[in-house]
Amino acid sequence: MNLGARLARAMGERGPLCVGIDPHPGLLGSWNLPDSAAGVREFSRTVVGELGGTVAALKPQSAFFERHGAAGIAVLEEVLQECRRTGVISILDVKRGDIGSTMTAYAEAYLRPGAPLEADAITLSPYLGAGALAPAIDLAIAGGKGVFVLALTSNPEGAEVQHATTGATSVAGAVCAHAAAVNARFGGVGPVGLVVGATVGDAVARLGLDLAATGAVLLAPGVGAQGGSAATLREVFGDARERVLASVSRSVLAAGPGGLATAARREISGLVSHP
């Protein structure tokens, strides 16, 4: 079963929620943990322990581990291993995008079975050309894994690139078309997901994007503390709403140790009660 199908099944069983593992200094402080690799380890182990059996996916943000150097990367290895042990799907947020042998090396770092930093899926940036992502997409398919390609992000600066037109379509449209072409081989949901922010407003409709036709799971950051809600998801995604995996971080992590599962279930309830 390809990663997209696995994730769709997990969303059906556990609800369409992905929780970020974002051990930034403010959250570490609110948890009374030091801003160190040791603090990141305690934070991350708690998140996986409390949420691994509750949510469809967990999304470690690599940057918050990398800032602690080799010790932080060692913690990230442990976190990804723990996700595999608990059976929760891991989406490593690294936003890699390069060409040729370098893209291949990134793919092997994160998507090769048995790699120290092996994840179920990674985020990718397509702005050196969507075709340049082929080494990562091919390795993901071979190993039953997946990727999430940036298409329409919530940050306001993204529009100058993503909304720009290339020929008869937008850059975002070309990215979506590339995902659709790969996913068409699988029928139903494929291994190439798309990142579309929960707060992009009418951009999907204005750019004429048919997200439902892409065969992609749609990872939607921006729900919760950033202002996205079940209502905004309906407005942004329309007919593709059932494929949306809402990504939250602070609105769950702020609950602190012992309260994460309750906070996550509250988010899930809000999403499934307002389809």
Contact (CB, 8 A) for 77 and 39: no
Q: Which residues contact 63 (CB under 8 A, 6 or more apart)?
A: none
One-letter amino acid identity for 95? K
**142: closest CA among 215, 85, 191?**
191
Tell me the three state secondary structure of residue 196.
strand
Q: pLDDT category, 226, cuts 50, 70, 90?
A: low
Phi and psi dihedrals of 273, rounded to 5?
-85, -10
Confidence (pLDDT) at 224? 62
Tell me the three state secondary structure of residue 212.
helix
Indicate which residues carry an active-site annotation.
Answer: 95
The model carries a pTM of: 0.96
For the chain, which residues make up each domain, given as ranges? Answer: 3-272
Confidence (pLDDT) at 154? 87
State how far the Cα of 14 lies from the Cα of 17, in Å rounded to an integer: 8
Contact (CB, 8 A) for 196 and 219: yes
**16: closest CA among 200, 208, 269?**
269
Phi and psi dihedrals of 112, rounded to 5?
-75, 125
Contact (CB, 8 A) for 91 and 121: yes
What whole-number percentage of the chain has pLDDT above 90?
A: 86
Contact (CB, 8 A) for 120 and 91: yes
How many residues are recorded in the chain?
275
**Under CATH, which number does the domain 3-272 receive?**
3.20.20.70
The string of pLDDT tens digits covering residues 55-72 is 999 999 999 999 999 999
The Cβ-side half-sphere exposure at 215, using a 13 Å CA radius, reads 20
State how far the Cα of 246 lies from the Cα of 157, in Å rounded to an integer: 21
Q: Which residues contact 179 (CB under 8 A, 6 or more apart)?
A: 149, 151, 190, 192, 193, 194, 214, 215, 216
Residue with more model confidence, 269 or 167: 269
What secondary structure letter does DSSP report for 16?
S
The string of pLDDT tens digits covering residues 121-176 is 999 999 999 999 999 999 999 999 999 999 999 898 999 999 999 888 999 999 99
Contact (CB, 8 A) for 261 and 54: yes
Q: pLDDT category, 231, cuts 50, 70, 90?
A: confident
Left, alpha or beta for 122 (phi > 0: left; psi -120 to 50: alpha)? beta
- The chain-wide mean pLDDT, for the chain, equals 94
